[in-house]
């Protein structure tokens, strides 16, 4: 894993690597030694954090060397990000389990219907490779990912709004009392 760290360090621009590479490696070794006493999960999280930090840091340094002092405008910072301590309601796992069960049942039902029907359609021939292009599947993949993200965001937004609405009702009723 240490060699992975050294490899990822090579992603940095060479001036940065020359200036800080050795020092970063020394600090990493100290942290890694301290982590050896911890559990496997903590060590795994540590590794993920280090990989993410190196990749993001290398990208930021490249942007910085390319854009100079204006790199802050190109890189998103978490300066204005407010974390609202949002948590899913307790009913979420039940709801998700119900959705999963419904999906599985629907698939089984569809398979049963498909098996009971006579196969009147001719079998589909082999797909001709020359007809496949790279772009449509990629676009479709992006569209599906975008739609999934949008639906997820809408669900989160609705849950958050309903939570805030309930909270304001509680506060109003407490204020009236």
Partner 1 sequence: MESLPLTEPVLLILLSLAGQPRHGYSILKDVEEMSDGRVLLSTGTLYGALRRLLDDGWIERFEEAESSRGRQAYRLTAGGRRNLQTEVSRMKQLTRLASLRVARKES
- Rounded CA-CA distance 142/144 in Å is 5
Q: Compare residues 59 and 146 and give the one whose CB is closer to partner 1.
A: 59
The least distance separating partner 1 from the CB of residue 49, rounded to whole angstroms, comes to 5
Q: Which residues bind partner 1 (CB under 8 A)?
A: 16, 19-20, 23-24, 26-28, 30-31, 49-50, 52-58, 60-61, 69, 72, 77-79
The least distance separating partner 1 from the CB of residue 137, rounded to whole angstroms, comes to 34
Which of 38, 62, 47 lies closest to 2, judged by CA?
47
The least distance separating partner 1 from the CB of residue 64, rounded to whole angstroms, comes to 8
> Which residue is listed with tokens 């600090």?
27
Q: Compare residues 53 and 149 and give the one whose CB is closer to partner 1.
A: 53
In a 3-state reduction of DSSP, which class is residue 84? coil
Q: Compare residues 28 and 159 and give the one whose CB is closer to partner 1.
A: 28
Distances (CA, A) of 154 to 97, 137, 147, 159, 160: 19, 25, 10, 8, 10
The least distance separating partner 1 from the CB of residue 172, rounded to whole angstroms, comes to 12
Distance of CA 32 to the CA centre of its chain: 26
Q: Compare residues 23 and 130 and give the one whose CB is closer to partner 1.
A: 23
């Amino acid at each position: 894993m240490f060699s992975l760290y050294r490899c990822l360090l090579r992603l940095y621009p060479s001036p940065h690597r020359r200036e800080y590479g050795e020092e970063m490696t020394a600090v990493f070794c100290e942290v890694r030694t301290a982590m050896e006493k911890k559990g496997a999960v903590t060590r795994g999280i540590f590794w993920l954090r280090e990989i993410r930090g190196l990749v993001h840091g290398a990208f930021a340094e490249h942007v910085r060397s390319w854009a100079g002092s204006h790199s802050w405008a190109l890189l998103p910072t978490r300066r204005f990000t407010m974390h609202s301590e949002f948590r899913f309601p307790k009913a979420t796992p039940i709801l998700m389990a119900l959705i999963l069960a419904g999906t599985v049942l629907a698939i089984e039902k569809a398979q049963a219907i498909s098996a009971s029907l006579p196969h009147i359609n001719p079998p589909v021939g082999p797909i001709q490779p020359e007809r496949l292009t790279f772009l449509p599947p990629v676009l479709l993949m992006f569209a599906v990912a975008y739609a999934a993200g949008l639906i997820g965001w809408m669900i989160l937004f609705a849950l958050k709004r309903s939570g805030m609405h309930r909270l304001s009702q509680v506060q109003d009723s407490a204020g009236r009392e």
